[in-house]
A and B are shown apart, each in its own frame.
Chain A
Amino acid sequence: MTAALSPEEWTVIWLSLRVGGVAVAAALPIAFALAWLLARGRFPGRVLLDAIVHLPLVLPPVVTGWLLLLAFAPAGPVGSLIERWTGGTVLFRWTGAAIAAAVMALPLMVRAMRLSIEAVDGRLESAARTLGAGRLRVFATITLPLSLPGVLAGAVLGFARALGEFGATISFVSNVPGETQTLPLAIYDALQVPGRESVVLRLALISIALAVAALVVSEVLTRRSGRRLHVL
């Protein structure tokens, strides 16, 4: 086994980081809005929304990927819109891989963010309002900063989940080297061919390192938010 990574392996790593990064960046505002709605909203259908958000967590990922394929196919409801607006498609593209990763990461992100929003003491928010702050200022100066560590922890967790995405990605955008072949797909690919164990080992070690780093960062952020939320 050689320690150095081949250009193909570097391609896989960079692609994975790009797919994961774009997926989390795109999912972050959506996840925060959903977390906010689920934590603070009182509207009919909240339970249903909660269930739908969590669906990718419990469905077989292949099913999620297949549903994405139906939606984003050129004749599908979303795919036809994308084709009309951009003339392109996300199928077999890294953008499609990012969409699959975002959908799979969303439930984890919403969960973490929702917990951190729920942990913000409502008494602090009403104190801020008696001091003259309107709803928007209370959100910007109290709710958001106090829930921020949890929101970031959720994003990091989502990033780790996005890096590991396999089932939905392979059934939605297939396994195209340099385009949709992220770390898990490359490992799967290498496992299919005898004599490529060293590639598997190197990519697996990188996956483990990235996952451990993400968990540590997420844990540190969560602990910090716990300390910050302490109300005197």
Chain B
Amino acid sequence: MSFDLDVALRRGDRSFACRIAPAAGITVLFGPSGAGKTTVLNMVAGLVRPDRGHVRVRDLTLFDAAAGVDLPIAARQAGYVFQEPRLFPHLRVRTNLRYGSRRAAREGALIDFDETVALLELAPLLDRWPRTLSGGEARRVAIGRALLSGARFLLLDEPLSSLDRNRREEVMRTIERLRDEIALPMLMVTHDPGEVERLAATVVAM
């Protein structure tokens, strides 16, 4: 079982609700910008607190307003790949990748450092600074960093946006390999019908 979500949120005079039923494979949130897709990811990660409802992932309750459950961000074991890679600019790629390794060591990792580097083809990038990376390279490092943080699931916010065609193909293949090789539940945001067609097992229209 992967994502089981039923949340509602009110901000000013805008109200917003989302339901996702558990399903195998990649769940895609699809819709125009401004529909609140990123907000859903933020609620799963704990960065935004829903007014009511629940968030469960792989049978672990992360948030439940009725039961008073609200796990701290750091304890949710979310592998969040933000729309911008958000690599730490003062740390080299290697140190960025290892940032979440404490939690991974504590909670047991699905994938180790060498496997991640091989899977995402990061070996030539390890000693570089984030500002020297191309968009696709930075995206792969961000995915690797999320994987290595002891993540139980991945949240991908428009992982293919603002990349040229070759880079898109590179990241798309990476996502497919993660799905096939380590069977990580993934919740992905996109507004591109092509990505939905190719990657989505379940589509949540917003």
**Chain A residues within CB distance 8 Å of chain B:** 123-124, 126-134, 141-142, 145-146, 228-232
Contacts and interface: CB of A to CB of B under 8 A. Distances in A.
B150 to A, nearest CB: 7
Given A132-B102, A132-B149, A133-B74, A127 B90 contact: no
Contact of A130 (B73, B85, B89, B138): B73
Given A230-B131, A232-B133, A132 B74 contact: yes
A127 B45 CA distance: 10
B86 A124 contact: yes
| Interface SS of chain B | loop
Interface stretch (B24-32, B76-84, B119-127, B189-197): B76-84
A231 B142 CA distance: 13
11 contacts: A123-B86, A126-B47, A127-B86, A130-B79, A130-B146, A131-B74, A132-B100, A132-B150, A133-B100, A145-B90, A228-B90
A21 to B, nearest CB: 28
A232 B133 CA distance: 9
Report the 7 A-B pairs with minimum CB-CB distance, sorted nearest first.
A132-B103, A131-B100, A127-B86, A130-B80, A129-B73, A131-B149, A132-B100
B103 A130 contact: no
Contacts of A128: 88, 99
Given A126-B73, A142-B88, A230-B89, A131 B47 contact: no
Contacts of A133: 74, 99-100
B187 interface: no
Nearest to A146: B90
Query: Contact residue range for chain B?
Result: 20 to 34
A129 B138 CA distance: 19
Contacts of B82: 123, 127
A123 B45 CA distance: 13
B47 A130 contact: yes
B159 interface: no
B130 interface: yes
Contacts of B171: none
Given A132-B75, A142-B88, 14 more contacts: A123-B82, A124-B86, A124-B89, A129-B74, A130-B46, A132-B102, A132-B104, A134-B74, A141-B99, A146-B89, A146-B90, A228-B90, A230-B89, A231-B86
Interface in B59-96: 72-80, 82, 84-90
Interface string B95-138: 00001101110000000000000000000000000110100001
Nearest to B104: A132
B145 A131 contact: yes
Given A127-B80, A131-B145, A134-B74, A232 B103 contact: no
A217 B94 CA distance: 31
A142 B88 CA distance: 8
A182 B195 CA distance: 70
A217 to B, nearest CB: 20
A229 B138 CA distance: 16
Contact of B88 (A124, A129, A130): A124
A145 B131 CA distance: 17
A123 B84 contact: yes
A232 B84 contact: yes
Contacts of A232: 84-87, 89, 130-131, 133, 138
A127 B84 CA distance: 11
A41 B79 CA distance: 29
A131 B89 contact: no
